Amino acid sequence: MKNHNSLLVVLLVCGVIGLPRAMFAKALLANKPKHVVFLISEDPLNYEAHITVPPFAEMLDKKYENLKITVLKGEGTHGAYRFPNLEILKEADLLVVFCRRLALPFDQMTSIKNYLRSGKPLVGLRTANHGFSVRDEVEPGFEGWWGFVPDILGCENNGYFPEKLGTIVSAYPGAENHSILNSLDLKNWKSKGQVYKVKPIIDPNAVVLLNGKPRGKSDTEPIAWTRKTAYGGKVFYTSLGYPTDFKQAPFIQLVINSIHWALEKE
């Protein structure tokens, strides 16, 4: 059973040294795997998140004993979408969002807002920068959240460059030693996905990690950064996440590192 051996060690050590009940409970809690919940949606413009995320999540679950992974894929229209078992957010340690232009039931949107208001962390992938920005007619009993992008991700969605140009990825000057970029091969990193236009980033305290440049253009845009919400929660966002990105080692390592960074206490 996952994490069985390390849990057994904690039990044995606590029993041998006779820890008080409160310290014993704290030791067990510290050894408990961190619960990561992915929210994904399926539509022709969501870059196959329903295909790429589940095997990536399965890899995380098998490889890292300190993580417990849940992937929630909902159903419905953009104006009336619902995730199954979203109440699991109450026990989540990290929320990862890769969904596009969804209106959710009032109670589900409230659950997401309450999670973030509690100061818990978030990782946003690609279409998270218009995750709840609904353009379709919103059905009664459902709501979008246009404020998610500026208030939580700290940016605005200003469109994107043509897909055919792709993205040339480079480290933002001075960010090379950030823990999220550890073990990333930044040489000749190219993505087939188009560059999202987000600058200037709203949050002046955001820490930009990666730049993206469309092929043949001099323009650059921030494509990965960290920040803190008004509630103190850690946030990592990247506009990478094109289907073929999940076959590239630098992107996979980037997301793995961001998850562990988000879960670490400062």
Number of domains in the chain: 2
Residues 3 and 126 in one domain: no
CA 168 to chain centre: 21
Residues 166 and 63 in one domain: yes
Residues 42 and 14 in one domain: no
For residues 186 and 254, the answer to whether their CB atoms sit within 8 Å is no
Residues 109 and 18 in one domain: no
Residues 164 and 139 in one domain: yes
Please tell me the distance from the alpha carbon of residue 238 to that of residue 123, in angstroms, as a whole number: 8
Residues 231 and 105 in one domain: yes
Please tell me the distance from the alpha carbon of residue 244 to that of residue 256, in angstroms, as a whole number: 17
Residues 5 and 58 in one domain: no
Residue 244's CATH number: 3.40.50.880
pTM higher than 0.85: yes
Residues 93 and 195 in one domain: yes
Each residue's pLDDT, cut to its tens digit, for the chain (266 residues) gives 465 454 444 444 445 445 555 544 444 456 799 999 999 999 999 999 999 999 999 999 999 999 999 999 999 999 999 999 999 999 999 999 999 999 999 999 999 999 999 999 999 999 999 999 999 999 999 999 999 999 999 999 999 999 999 999 999 999 999 999 999 999 999 999 999 999 999 999 999 999 999 999 999 999 999 999 999 999 999 999 999 999 999 999 999 999 999 999 86
Residues 16 and 115 in one domain: no
Residues 51 and 16 in one domain: no
Cis peptide before 200 (omega within 30 of 0): yes
Residues 14 and 74 in one domain: no
Task: Give the structural domain span for 171.
Answer: 33-263
Q: Which two tokens stand for residue 55?
A: 């095997």
pLDDT tens profile 61-76: 999 999 999 999 999 9
Residues 95 and 27 in one domain: no
